[in-house]
Structure 1
């Protein structure tokens, strides 16, 4: 029978002996590998898979015992068969030493060819059978893995469903229960106890105790479910509230399914309870947010309408530019507020957005701490800053490259003080009358925010000082209405 050849390593320092071993073992039909020293044998072992090693005990440099010890130290060769050939009389002590070094057998000299062949053949066949068993074992493992993969694929959906259930129970959002319809016995799992806020040690599961934990307005749901099952319904689902012993109210959705006997009578009802309190709260927050968005949208539209109605200009182009500028300022502050979920806006961010079109070669210097503004304050200051930047770009320091603008602010006792200091621009003259921008700035800061706005028209440049309380509570009217009312009054005084 054909079989795969194995490698047999012959180690001896005498070429004549190696040749004799080759002649004797040639009949086995295996691959014979020659090494004339212990070191050469080690090199062969590292490169070639060896089944049996035939080694002479007496060799220069590394003798057979030393070579065997080095071979056995390597993890790959700890089970490799080694046969010692000894030309000297071998005592029991020598044999014991050889076995300790890893030898599996001894062959004395002169060598009997039939005996040597028989010994080598046994270990070669053992090596071959071992490799065959390893291959068969690998094939078996491959088949087992393939079969396991098939089973895993066939049960993937079931496993995923169980994982989702386990995760929900672990998170305290789901519980399962079982009710013996005949005996009245209940069984709750850990998740069910957690949802209801009770412990297995102190709470007895029975219809009366369960009903006591239901919200009074939802008790009828339990009675309705029982009636439905008695009428032949096999599945039931409903939302209900529970009142935990600590007083907390939780929303749940319950799903139940009935098991019937051969006569169609219900014998068991099993179900799952899911805590949906967070979902309910999220729905409430979403509804509140929708109402808040509607409210803010109406306010923004009203404020835009006020800007359009109250803006004055001598020609259409100037009017359009003025309206667009104020609307864009309002849009920019709304963007900032939306990024913070309308919690507020930083003053420095507000100023950065307004000065972006005018930041030329270091003409503008900012100095001040981080200040968080309430949404209403941020909207009003954004429009005020827009008017100051617009006027400066038209008539003041930002209208020329030599002009300089310094904006500084500080907070003390919840009062924001902002200074606007222009210099190096055109010669400034005190205006005979206030324009709409100045009037609206005064009206918004003083009427809407309860602050003050002071103007000093110095020849070298405008100096403006704004004082704004940071904790003032807004009244019930909208900011746009106050802006329009205050601006209209200012216009009437100016025209009168």
Structure 2
């Protein structure tokens, strides 16, 4: 087999005695050789893509680290260190989503994997009950979901169920039918202190939560005394990976 004018492989066929190959036999051998060549090219392309993905992941991680470093230096004089730490952890949440996305060449991410990666930043995953069908979601949905879950978990640690030793969070999701199918995500806290509705609209984190998944603003927050219950909805077509 030749590639760009040079031999890259030799295809050898044995027989018990010298013979003259028929045109049909030669055509068959050429067909087999062509298939082998295609297979070799595919393996090489996959190996090259893996190397490129690894390099891309490394560079993006470095970029996120640089952004975090610049922000830290810029905000060094800020007296409210909570603001700086909140920003750093949001960058880290995006980095966690990036780690999951890079496993599929930034084309998609498993919904459950994104959840587990982001929520494990906050506390032990045993304190979360994840229930729902796993699915591939788009890069934009993965990044949006990572920020949304990060803010919800942060608030739960500060004021909600995760601030109590016995507190738990149930995260469930399902798809709704109809003319415009949707993804419905539920966040339910139990076992924590009594919850009161906020007196004001809150800060940036609260705004991120109210923006919902993919910025749809389809977010219903119910501050029950037994714990926060939130429901988020987004068009399934925008959440899932589009197959062209």
Matched pairs, number: 194
Residue pairs, 1:117-132, within 5 angstroms: none
Inter-CA distance 403–168: structure 2 relative to 1 (3 Å threshold): same
CA distance in 2, matches of 1:391, 1:166: 60
CA distance in 2, matches of 1:472, 1:458: 30
Offset of residue 445 of structure 1: 2.5
Q: Find out whether 1:443 has 2:211 as its counterpart.
A: yes
Aligned 8 A contact 1:452 1:467 in 2? yes
Offset of residue 443 of structure 1: 3.0
User: What is aligned with 1:472?
Assistant: 238
CA distance in 2, matches of 1:421, 1:323: 25
Offset of residue 442 of structure 1: 2.8
Q: Find out whether 1:331 has 2:98 as its counterpart.
A: no
CA distance in 1, matches of 2:174, 2:10: 51
Offset of residue 396 of structure 1: 0.5
Offset of residue 451 of structure 1: 5.8
SS of equivalent to 1:471:
helix
Q: 2:200 aligns with which of 424, 433, 437?
A: 433
Q: 2:218 aligns with which of 447, 452, 455?
A: 452
* Farther off after superposition, 326-335 or 339-348: 339-348
Residue pairs, 1:249-398, within 5 angstroms: 278=41, 297=60, 315-356=79-120, 357-359=122-124, 362-398=126-162
Inter-CA distance 432–355: structure 2 relative to 1 (3 Å threshold): same
CA distance in 1, matches of 2:169, 2:8: 64
Aligned 8 A contact 1:451 1:469 in 2? no
CA distance in 1, matches of 2:8, 2:107: 38
User: What is aligned with 2:166?
Assistant: 402
Task: Output one character per residue of 1:170-217: Cα deviation in whole Å (capped at 9) or x when no partner.
Answer: 6xxxxxxxxxxxxxxxxxxx69x959xxxxxxxxxxxxxxxxxxxxxx
CA distance in 1, matches of 2:107, 2:236: 14
Aligned 8 A contact 1:398 1:405 in 2? yes
With the length of structure 1 as denominator, give the TM-score of the two structures: 0.34
Inter-CA distance 340–446: structure 2 relative to 1 (3 Å threshold): closer
Aligned 8 A contact 1:446 1:452 in 2? no
- Indicate the structure whose relative CO is greater, using CA pairs within 8 Å and at least 6 residues apart: 2
CA distance in 2, matches of 1:322, 1:336: 22
With the length of structure 2 as denominator, give the TM-score of the two structures: 0.65
Aligned 8 A contact 2:212 2:218 in 1? no
Residue pairs, 1:37-56, within 5 angstroms: none
SS of equivalent to 1:402:
coil
CA distance in 2, matches of 1:169, 1:433: 75
Task: Output one character per residue of 1:308-336: Cα deviation in whole Å (capped at 9) or x when no partner.
Answer: 69x9xx84320221012111111111001
Asked which structure has the greater CA Rg, the reply is 1
Aligned 8 A contact 1:455 1:463 in 2? yes
Inter-CA distance 166–376: structure 2 relative to 1 (3 Å threshold): closer
Unaligned runs of 5+ in 1: 1-163, 171-189, 196-273, 475-496
SS of equivalent to 2:237:
coil
Unaligned runs of 5+ in 2: 1-5, 13-25, 32-36
CA distance in 1, matches of 2:41, 2:233: 44
Offset of residue 343 of structure 1: 2.6
Residue pairs, 1:148-187, within 5 angstroms: 167-169=9-11
Inter-CA distance 446–380: structure 2 relative to 1 (3 Å threshold): closer
Inter-CA distance 415–342: structure 2 relative to 1 (3 Å threshold): same
Task: Output one character per residue of 1:16-37: Cα deviation in whole Å (capped at 9) or x when no partner.
Answer: xxxxxxxxxxxxxxxxxxxxxx
